[in-house]
Structure 1
Amino acid sequence: MRQRVVRVALVAASVVLVLLAVPLAVVIRASFFADERGELQRDAMAAVIRVSPDFTAGDPVELPPGQSEGQLGVYDTALRLRTGTGPSTADTATRRALAGTVVQQSAGGELVAAVPISQGERVIGVVRAAISTRSVWNRILTAWGALLGAALLALGAAILVARRQARVLTAPLESLSRTSQAIADGDLSARAATCGINEIDQVADTHNAMVQRLAQLLHHEKNFTANASHQLRTPLTGLQLGLEQALTTPTTNPRAAIEEALERARHLNDTIDEVLQLAKAEPAAGAALQPAGELLERAERRWHGPLAQDGRRIRLTPDPAATTLPVPGRTTEQILDILLDNAHRHGHGTVTVTLRDMGAALALDIADEGTLTLHPKTLFERGTTTGPGEGIGLALAKDLADSTGARLSLTHTAPTTFTLLLPHTQ
């Protein structure tokens, strides 16, 4: 592109110079010839003043100094050269001047001006001034050479300016190309810089916005697999264990086992929907609302068994006035499961779930009897963990809370307590 910009500028400058130089060259030629004719006529008229009426009788004539390269002579009515320089016999221009008119003509490679010498009303001679056209053409060619030199100088300056401007114009595009290549190589943090050229800056801003959007989408897609694995592992295990227990225990009520399996399957379906919605990087539209008390009861049924197997228990302490208040069902249920799973894996003792009405929001406190050793600032970052886990759960819970306008935070480290604030929903 840089060479193309230089070529375009060079062609434009050449066209302008030709359009200016050719007419100027024509004007120079016409002007030089016109000036030379005028100079010859002035020399001839200056000589006429010096010629005495008695020059035909042999009176000497002192002619003024003419042009060094020209001729200046006085002719009598017999068309003979009496003094000065010139052809011995008068030429056509001199003969025509005997008629009493000033004559200018170009003939025989010369420019000639003939001025009649008058006495009274009678022409008694002619002053002839002439110069070779070659001499005029030499001066014209010298002027044309100077014009050509100026044109070449202007063209050179145009090339230098064009190359500089080409660098100014192409450098941001080359930088944008390098940035795009870096992004193609996997560096999603690369961003195009601005350069002060509005059109190119607009392209850079659009490019950066596109990359930012792609980075967000790739980030959510990258987390989708980890989120899905994390969220589906525990419900699938519970479903499998429940079905296996129903098969191996003869006294199990088949209907109750099937109902429990259906509830776990529904929970799995909701989990998949929530993870998919989060992967789209868009807030859920029209999320179904459910009474907060029902969510707590279902959570107790799901987690009573896993905690009991470890000799632990789950305790609900809801505010009766808050149990009927609606909350985003599926999202809140997923966050609650993550926090309970975190308490199961990393906590100790009894897990207490408290539901409180704080006026502008509902508060869900999930506490165990353990002590948190991680720094609160890094707690919700992916990969942060104190045990064998992959450090996905709390980060996912934070993302789910943010997607519904809720707020998840650590409120105590001993005992470990997480609080989920849910804005009241009408």
Structure 2
Amino acid sequence: MRRRLISSTLAVVLVVIAVFGISLVIVETRTIQSSAQDGVQSEAVRLVGVVENRINAKEALDARHLDPLISNGRFAVVRVPGHPEVRLGDRPHGAAISSTQSGDSGETVTVEEARSKVSQQIGRTLLVILAVALLAVLAAVALAVRQARRLASPLTDLAETAERLGSGDPRPRHRRYGVPELDRIADVLDASAERIGRMLTAERRLAADASHQLRTPLTALSMRLEEIVATAQDKEAVKEEATIALGQVERLTDVVQRLLTNSRDPRSGSAVDFDLDEVIRQQVEEWRPAYQSEGRSLVFSGTRSLRAVGTPGAVAQVLATLIENSLMHGAGTVALHTRVTGNQAVVEVSDDGPGVPPDLGARVFERAVSGRNSTGLGLAVARDLAEADGGRLELLQQRPPVFALFLAQEIVPRRPPEQIIA
């Protein structure tokens, strides 16, 4: 491309120089020839006037008196009736430019100038024009190389950016080149890189969230299946455990569906009015066997018959995350306590363990932040689930730990978009 830019620029410059150079040569040649002819004619008119004056003054008309009047390099012949012909200067060799003028007394003056002098002047003018044309060509070459470098280098850089983008490196480069069209392409590539980066981040986040969120219901399901195996002789117990396992499978399906929905549009909530006690009891029943196997207890207290607004599956997942964290990192009895504050229903989860390290504090909800060598995703995902339906998850106390899930008690209707009447 660089070679094509240089070639095209030089071609345009050469055409312009050829057109204007030839025109200038023609004009200058005619101007020099016309100027030489006018000079010879003016010389002849001047000599006719001098001769006329000398005739009227009855002065001598000879070469000695008239020779100083002729310009250097010119030749003149003065003819006066009744007087001998007078020759002034040296006669030129070869072709000459001449002019003959006559006076009132019958005298004639012929002035000649060698055409070679005119040719030399034309030649010098042509050399000047050629020198200027050569300088113009050199300047055009330098400008073409500079412009080609200015355009070709950014295009190469943009091609590398597009190649990096296609190879899975979505980092924007934020380079601009001072050329509006190229800067526009760079803007589009950077915007595309940012969009692809957000998409890749969302995909990685979905994979991390899915792996973490599916672990809890799968663990509970595994425990239920172990209970089924342990009670295989009791058909009623097997039936009960199988029913509970099926319920856990349904909740697992709901978790997967919610993850996929949030990956497409995190703002798409499915909040409904539901019985909060039922969700809490279901979690207590699911996790009680695991706590009993650890010699610990799980209790539910507080205000009963509460109704809250949210997605039951998401609320169950948040509570499951808090209960599992208490099982893994806490100690003693885990208490789920419900209360009402303002127009919100609150579920507090606490235990008798060491709690959250002082250096973490509220940062415990950040992704990849963990004080117990865990993944650091559970609480971050739980907070996202709570906020998706208008609730919030907070750490009320670090030692002993008290986490609180705040849920609205009534559905707030969405305002329809205002219509602008023109």
Shift of 1:87: 6.7
Counterpart among 90, 98, 111 of residue 112 in structure 1:
98
For 1:148, the equivalent position in structure 2 comes to: 130
Q: How does 1:62-141 map to 2 (within 5 A)?
A: 62-63=66-67, 65-75=69-79, 82-85=86-89, 109-119=95-105, 124-141=106-123
Shift of 1:217: 1.4
Measure the CA separation in 2 of the matches of 1:361 and 1:21.
Answer: 90
For 1:365, the equivalent position in structure 2 comes to: 348
Matched, 1:47 2:33: no
Measure the CA separation in 2 of the matches of 1:286 and 1:384.
Answer: 26
Aligned pair count? 400
Shift of 1:2: 4.5
Cα–Cα, structure 1 residues 225 and 285, in superposed 2: closer, same or farther, change >3 Å?
A: closer
What is the identity percentage for the equivalent residue pairs of Structure 1 and Structure 2?
Answer: 27
Shift of 1:338: 1.9
For 1:227, the equivalent position in structure 2 comes to: 209
CA contact (8 A) 1:235 1:268 kept: yes
Cα–Cα, structure 1 residues 356 and 4, in superposed 2: closer, same or farther, change >3 Å?
A: farther
Q: How does 1:20-419 map to 2 (within 5 A)?
A: 20-52=20-52, 59-60=61-62, 62-63=66-67, 65-75=69-79, 82-85=86-89, 109-119=95-105, 124-180=106-162, 187-249=169-231, 250-253=233-236, 254-280=238-264, 282-291=265-274, 292-320=276-304, 323-359=306-342, 361-370=344-353, 371-373=355-357, 375-376=360-361, 378-387=363-372, 389-419=374-404
Cα–Cα, structure 1 residues 127 and 422, in superposed 2: closer, same or farther, change >3 Å?
A: farther
CA contact (8 A) 1:220 1:278 kept: no
Measure the CA separation in 2 of the matches of 1:396 and 1:73.
Answer: 116
Cα–Cα, structure 1 residues 12 and 266, in superposed 2: closer, same or farther, change >3 Å?
A: same
Shift of 1:48: 0.8
- The answer to which of 364-373 and 239-248 deviates more is 239-248
Measure the CA separation in 2 of the matches of 1:128 and 1:136.
Answer: 18
Cα–Cα, structure 1 residues 130 and 361, in superposed 2: closer, same or farther, change >3 Å?
A: farther
Amino acid aligned to 1:376? G
Measure the CA separation in 2 of the matches of 1:425 and 1:223.
Answer: 29
Cα–Cα, structure 1 residues 87 and 171, in superposed 2: closer, same or farther, change >3 Å?
A: closer
Amino acid aligned to 1:136? V
Structure 1, unaligned stretches of length 5 or more? 89-107
**What SS does the corresponding residue of 2:101 show, helix, strand or coil?**
strand
- Kindly provide the CA deviation profile for residues 332-383 of structure 1, in whole angstroms up to 9, marking residues without a partner as x: 3322222222222111222223344443654433222222226136423444
Shift of 1:41: 0.7
Amino acid aligned to 1:295? V
Shift of 1:23: 2.2
**What SS does the corresponding residue of 2:356 show, helix, strand or coil?**
coil
Measure the CA separation in 2 of the matches of 1:390 and 1:376.
Answer: 17
- Kindly provide the CA deviation profile for residues 201-239 of structure 1, in whole angstroms up to 9, marking residues without a partner as x: 332232222112211211222233332222223322332
Cα–Cα, structure 1 residues 400 and 327, in superposed 2: closer, same or farther, change >3 Å?
A: closer
Amino acid aligned to 1:70? R
**What SS does the corresponding residue of 1:68 show, helix, strand or coil?**
coil
Structure 2, unaligned stretches of length 5 or more? 413-422
Shift of 1:269: 0.3
Cα–Cα, structure 1 residues 14 and 395, in superposed 2: closer, same or farther, change >3 Å?
A: farther
Cα–Cα, structure 1 residues 389 and 109, in superposed 2: closer, same or farther, change >3 Å?
A: same
Cα–Cα, structure 1 residues 15 and 352, in superposed 2: closer, same or farther, change >3 Å?
A: farther
After TM superposition, the score normalised by the length of structure 2 is 0.81
Tell me how large the CA RMSD over aligned residues is.
3.4
Measure the CA separation in 2 of the matches of 1:419 and 1:199.
Answer: 55
- Kindly provide the CA deviation profile for residues 234-265 of structure 1, in whole angstroms up to 9, marking residues without a partner as x: 32233243234334422242543342122111
Measure the CA separation in 2 of the matches of 1:313 and 1:398.
Answer: 25
Shift of 1:272: 0.9
Measure the CA separation in 2 of the matches of 1:162 and 1:5.
Answer: 7
Measure the CA separation in 1 of the matches of 2:68 and 2:391.
Answer: 111
- The answer to which of 258-267 and 235-244 deviates more is 235-244
**What SS does the corresponding residue of 1:51 show, helix, strand or coil?**
helix
**What SS does the corresponding residue of 2:279 show, helix, strand or coil?**
helix
- The answer to which of 398-407 and 251-260 deviates more is 398-407
Shift of 1:169: 4.3
Measure the CA separation in 2 of the matches of 1:293 and 1:214.
Answer: 43
